[in-house]
Amino acid sequence: MTDTPLPATGRHVPDRLNSRAHRVLRSWEALLLTVAIAIFIANSLASPYFLDAWNLSDATFNFTEKAMIAFAMALLIISGEIDLSVASIIALASTMMGLAAQYGAGTIELVAIGLVVGLLCGAFNAVFVTVLGLPSIVVTIGTMSLFRGVSYIILGDEAFRGYPDSFSWFGQGYVYWVFTVEMVLFALIAVIYGVVLHKTNFGRAVYAIGNNPTGALFSGIRVQRVKFILFLLTGLMSGVAAVCLTSRLGSTRPSIASGMELEVVTMVVLGGVNILGGSGSIPGVVIAAFVMGLVTFGLGLLNVPGIVMSIVIGLLLIGVIALPRLAAMALNRRKAS
């Protein structure tokens, strides 16, 4: 009778686990999480008011509305397109809600108006890009001025006020203790977009289009229809953000959300989404939202002027776009040497 060696059924499992853990630790999301923790610690040391639970709750207002749009924007950029009119959609949706409020519209009607206006603006962009075949960056720069201009025509230098008291719940209400309605909505939308992008055929189609739109078309993916839906989603999320922002401020001015499109794009790119399309993740955008929120809230506690915050946001955008290119150049030089 001979001894038969036992089969090494689990020999490669640790290797796979180690490899997977190694990839996670080397990922952009892991780096972002490290940065977020470092910023959190720095803010707690810089200001004695930072660790207060209610202050941290208020800090979420710095990013939740932008992040709602960023989730849809992430899918759009992964597909190879972009929408720079999102802040102007917020302005137009808010203006329409304010106009309706002057005629006695209730909370339900106001929310519906905000969402519908966002959808219509997204569809307007989608028609020019997917039907007429125009570049999305050119189209949305044009509609950025168009939507904002309509708001200025309606409002001028005035402001709409007099929203129903119940309308303030979306931007100022709390679900439980320090957890705001906006924060819960942000978490819910993050889960939905995470599942759509990473667990569904639609998400795989978005990646395929961003990597090779011609190949995706020949593989049976209806490219233009997918892009049309993505523009609709971006418009819808802008409408949701308009409802939350208008509710939080309690008034509407044509300058509302000015410059927010830059912060949304920065949030998406900082989250690891390739500005040229084809790659990116929702968890990365979630972490990037917290990073930007912590940065702006920490600077605010230190009484740093708003213009300095704008400079920081601009530097973040340039840095995260240039960093992969610089890393690739350094790697190529190292290989050549």
CA distance 232 to 234: 5
CA distance 295 to 271: 15
Residue 231: predicted pLDDT: 98
CA distance 300 to 180: 20
pLDDT tens series, the chain, 337 aa: 445 444 444 444 555 655 666 666 678 888 889 989 998 999 899 888 888 889 888 889 889 999 999 999 999 999 999 999 999 999 999 999 999 999 999 999 999 999 999 999 999 999 999 999 999 999 999 999 999 999 999 998 889 998 999 999 999 999 988 899 999 999 999 999 999 999 999 999 999 999 999 999 999 999 999 999 999 999 999 999 999 999 999 999 999 999 899 999 999 999 999 999 999 999 999 999 999 999 888 888 888 887 887 888 788 778 877 777 777 788 888 888 7
Residue 24: predicted pLDDT: 63
Residue-wise pLDDT tens digits, 150-165: 999 999 888 999 899 9
Does residue 24 lie within any of the structural domains? no
The angle subtended at Cα 73 by Cα 191 and Cα 262, nearest 5°, is: 125
Residue 25: predicted pLDDT: 61
> 86 CB contacts (<8 Å, ≥6 apart)?
69, 73, 234, 237, 238, 241, 260, 261, 264
Kindly report the pTM of this predicted structure.
0.89
CA distance 223 to 202: 11
Q: Which of 314, 255, 228, 292 is nearest to 66 (CA)?
A: 292
Residue 6: predicted pLDDT: 45
Cα distances (angstroms) measured from residue 275 to each of 38, 105, 266: 26, 41, 10
The DSSP element (H or E) to which 98 belongs, if any, is helix 86-102
Does residue 1 lie within any of the structural domains? no
Number of Cβ within 10 Å of residue 2's Cβ equals 3
The DSSP element (H or E) to which 180 belongs, if any, is strand 179-180
Does residue 21 lie within any of the structural domains? no
Domain count, the chain: 1
Q: Which of 116, 67, 79, 91 is nearest to 228 (CA)?
A: 79
CA distance 208 to 272: 17
CA distance 2 to 268: 63
Does residue 335 lie within any of the structural domains? no
Does residue 289 lie within any of the structural domains? yes
Q: Which domain holds residue 105?
A: 50-324
Cα distances (angstroms) measured from residue 265 to each of 55, 57, 143, 299: 26, 24, 17, 20
Residue 99: predicted pLDDT: 95
| Helices and strands per DSSP (H, E), number in the chain | 15, 2
In DSSP notation, 283-335 reads HHHHHHHHHHHHHHHHHHHTT--HHHHHHHHHHHHHHHHHHHHHHHHHHHHHH
Task: List the CATH number of the domain containing 178.
Answer: 1.10.3470
Does residue 40 lie within any of the structural domains? no
Does residue 240 lie within any of the structural domains? yes
Residue 9: predicted pLDDT: 46
Whether residue 293 contacts residue 62, with contact meaning beta carbons closer than 8 Å, is answered with yes
Residue 21: predicted pLDDT: 64
Residue-wise pLDDT tens digits, 291-332: 999 988 888 888 888 788 788 878 877 887 777 777 778 888
Does residue 329 lie within any of the structural domains? no
